[in-house]
Amino acid sequence: MHRARVEKTKRDVFRHHIGPPHQFSGDLICWKCTAAFVAVRAHTNKGAPVQAQYRLAPKTEHDSDCPLNPTVVTNHIAHGSHGLAEADDRGILRLNLPENISAVPTTGPDDDVTGQDAVRHTVATVRPLLPPAVNSAAKIAQFLQMHDFDKDIVDRFKIRPHNGRAIPWGRFCYGPTTESYAELYERCRRAEVFTHPIAVFGTVRRVSHDRSGRPYIVLALNVPAGDGSFHVTIRSWHASLIEPLITGVHVLAVGAGWEIFPRGNVPQLRLWADEHWQLAHWTTTGDGQSTAPHCPPPLTAVQRARARAEARTRRAAGGPAGPPAPSASPTPTEAITPPPASETAVDPAPELPQPPPARTAPAADASSADTPMTDPHDQVSLAQPAAIIAPRPKQPPADGTPQPVPPLPAFPPPAPGEGGRRWALGQWLKRVRRR
């Protein structure tokens, strides 16, 4: 843990106070309760560096009402998970991810004892409600954040996808360390197929805008990976999902669509968020207390329709290939399973205009047997306007004077059919030569 308190002076001390020239004048205790703490200097463990930190003294536990007590907090997380989380007597919690991860129940947890919950204020949520699975994951991330992602505390949490076995927390949620981000980056570079949602935790470092003016956030900059580096970004078609995420806000982004964007000066490990529940966020107060996790407001039908119209316009203009088009309706598991066939879009695509009817040759005059018939290859293409052709006389003059040949059109009219434009051009040249 990065923080402790001197028992005698009640002064808070932090990680950088461990080691010379700093010295503590008394015993250390937890900064939230009276449990005894000890300071551990920076060292290496099996070749891996370990930061200086504060730990519980041997054979010591946090007070029962301390928000840093793992056993008490895991029980409260399990209680508010609507049956998705299970905690055993050792304080090990297993979170079961349902197939429909975004389902929100209409009622609260069974046997809710809010009045007796001494630490519920540290992990509660507000409307719009996060799904229980995402809300429980946010509670776990908040608790691990308070413990500075201590490995012994991280090992207390397991995740079980709906279609597989239990996995460690670190295989479900990545961050905030550079090593963790790099692990997910390598999985994406190997084109692994994610069979369950992947979460990424981080703090907003920067808010930027793309060429279209849409905002996006950066959770990590210049993360080393192999012989290069990358950024971790969150993007969305909908600006309302990104606007609440300002610099300094802690974000837990959930989705199965993590990908690598290789273009640009630095590659990006990014997620395109399409639903409000994919972005749980909170802040930390001055005394180290985390606020309740929030999520952006849900999208409206108008927002979804506008985003789809913009995507159609870009495709029609031949723009560069971009991210997947936004969904037509708030399907919870779009990133994992396809939406049902019966789902109805908010605004159907406009019907294509019907082509004008083909122009046919004028009917021959029954009283004139020598009226020339219209060549079928002179029919006008539906894609271009008809070329102007001078009408031919129905009968030659009585004195035998030769009638001048009408001028040819400036360009041969195209003709429909299997031959296409080149075939129509050949037929036109043949008629010119015969004249």
Contact 133, 84 (CB under 8 A): yes
Nearest to 123 by CA among 105, 136, 133: 136
Collapse the DSSP code of 272 into the 3-class scheme (helix H, G, I; strand E, B; otherwise coil) and give the result.
strand
Which of 56-65, 133-142, 162-171, 385-394 bottoms out in mean pLDDT, i.e. has the lowest?
385-394
Residue 211, both tokens: 């060429």
CA angle at residue 211 from 205 to 213, to 5 degrees? 70
- Cα–Cα distance between 378 and 366 in angstroms, integer? 22
Average pLDDT, the chain: 77
Look at strands 3-6 and 12-14 and give their pairing. antiparallel
Nearest to 145 by CA among 221, 252, 57: 252
Cα R_g (the chain), whole angstroms: 35
Residue 310 has pLDDT above 90, yes or no: no
Residues facing 281 on adjacent strands? 251, 294
Residue 289 has pLDDT above 90, yes or no: no
Q: pLDDT band at residue 217, thresholds of 50, 70 and 90?
A: very high
Which of 25-34, 47-56, 177-186, 239-248 bottoms out in mean pLDDT, i.e. has the lowest?
47-56
Residue 252 has pLDDT above 80, yes or no: yes
* Residue type at position 232: V
Which of 313-327, 375-389, 405-419 bottoms out in mean pLDDT, i.e. has the lowest?
375-389
- Cα–Cα distance between 149 and 2 in angstroms, integer? 10
Q: Can you tell me the mean pLDDT for 208-237?
A: 93
Nearest to 216 by CA among 199, 203, 204, 234: 234
Query: Quick one: pLDDT at residue 430?
Result: 83
Q: Can you tell me the mean pLDDT for 114-136?
A: 59
Query: Quick one: pLDDT at residue 245?
Result: 96
- Cα–Cα distance between 66 and 72 in angstroms, integer? 8
Percentage above 70 pLDDT, the chain: 69
Main-chain phi, psi angles of 338, to 5 degrees: -70, 150
- Cα–Cα distance between 303 and 151 in angstroms, integer? 42
Residues facing 228 on adjacent strands? 225
DSSP 190-251: TTPPPSS-EEEEEE--EEEE-TTS-EEEEEEEEEEETTEEEEEEEEES-HHHHTT--TT-EE
Q: pLDDT band at residue 119, thresholds of 50, 70 and 90?
A: very low
Which of 82-86, 105-109, 147-151, 290-294 bottoms out in mean pLDDT, i.e. has the lowest?
105-109
